[in-house]
Each structure stands twice: as structure tokens, then as C-alpha cells.
Amino acid sequence: MKISEKRYSELEKLQGILNYSFKDTELLNNALTHTSYVKGENRNAVHNERLEFLGDAVLELIVSEYLFVNNPNMNEGLMTRVRSRAVYENALFDAAREIGLGGYLLLSHGEEHTGGREKPSILSDALEAVIGAMYLDGGIEPVKKFILGFAVSSINEAVKTVSVKDYKTLLQEHVQQSHTGNLEYDVVSVSGPDHKRVFTMQVSINGEAFGRGQGGSKQEAGQNAAHATLLMLGALKPDTSEEKQ
């Protein structure tokens, strides 16, 4: 579909916001073309679903690399959860809304009238399509710069909030991935007065005793027992920066 002068001018403005100049402006235009637009007189237009597919993969790669490089003590399971939180729909929607991406979308009249320019699913998909278009147009370096420009804050926030201190979850994942066997937590003692109990928990894997932990609640004791077990198994480095709950 031939790009009109008005549309070309709009896309130039967006490229300024993206801080990237497309060699093939049609790629950017396709990335902003919703499937609802491709019907009737616009049936020859190319919608953005294929670019969205590519952009999703590129986004995951860049975020994965960032996590891998910047969090050397983080295991695969935790990195997966952090990545999922960092690139989930609302995070992408916020980034798309921040750059005003909705104003550049090509939508059907029906989608326009039902608020399509503000729908989280449409905006997040469009942002992924723009990432795919940028990757095809300029390769990995400019798209990496673009992604980290909006994603680093959400990645770092995800690192803080996604069970970073949940040693029981980390241990469960380690046991499952290594096919070690059944994981159990047992209270081996309770001491102290009623208002200040101290629980001691023991971790067992396939009946074999591993780490112990104490705490003012069963949850805290279990976390500390899991932490001790992870250290025993070599699944957590002794000098890790993570703090026990």
C-alpha cells in the first residue's frame, strides 16, 4: 500500500520519538496496521501480526540477555519469571502509551469507535510489531537500545518483586529440574514462650535430611531451611546478594 504524504509525515514524527530512522518506512507503517484495518478498500494493506510475532521473540531475547548479564546468581526459573513480569501486556501497554503509539495506528472505523487506540492488547501488540520492524530494518543494536530504553526500569522492578527472596520456590524448581525426588519440610522443634515462638524446620529430599532453618513462623523457618539447602546443593552461591526473608 502506497504511503500518502500525510501519513509519511506522521511516521517521520514517530521516528523522532523512537529515536530511530527507518530505511524502509513501509515496515514501520505495516507495524502500525491493525488487522481490523485490512478489509474493504484497504484489503491490500499488510497488517502487523507477523511483525508482532517476530518482535515478541526479539523482545524476549534482549530482556533475557540483560537478565543473564546483570544477574549472575539468578537461576533459569527465576529469570523466566522475571522476564515474564517485565514484558507482560500491561508493561508493554504502559511503554506504548508513553510514546503515544495509539495515535499512529491504522484501525477500522469500528475499532476506532470502540476505543481501539487505548486498548492494552492492541497497543502492546503494536509495540512488539514496531520492535520486529526495527529489527528487520536495522538489526539487533538499534532495537536493543530501544528496548532497554523503556524496559530496564520494569525489569529491575520485576527483579525486586518476583519472588527474588522465595527460597522455597527456588528449591522446588531446582529439585524438579534435577529430578532429585520428593521434597518435604518438617517441623523438628518449637521453642520459646507462646508470644515469641521459634520454629525449626528440616528439609528432606527423598527422605535424606538437608538444611535446617529457624524463624518466628513456620514460613520464615521454611524459607531459611530452603536457603540452607540451596547452599548445600550448590544451587546458590554463598556470596549471593539476595537476603533471606
- Of 143, 146, 136, nearest to 23 by C-alpha is 136
* 212 alpha-carbon distance from chain centroid: 33
Residue 151's contacts (CB-CB under 8 Å, 6 or more residues apart) are: 59, 62, 63, 66, 86, 87, 91, 95
CA angle 137, 138, 143 (to 5 degrees): 110
Helices and strands per DSSP (H, E), number in the chain:
10, 3
At 214, is the secondary structure helix, strand, or coil? strand
Residues composing the chain? 245
Q: Known catalytic residues?
A: 56, 128
Cα–Cα separations (whole angstroms), residue 81 to 121, 156, 217, 227: 21, 13, 26, 19
Cβ 31 vs Cβ 126: under 8 Å: yes
Rounded to whole angstroms, the Cα distance separating 170 from 163 reads 9
Helix (H) or strand (E) holding 206: none
Whose cell is 500500500? That residue is 1
Q: Is the dihedral of CA 90, 94, 95, 100 positive or negative?
A: positive
CA distance 6 to 37: 18
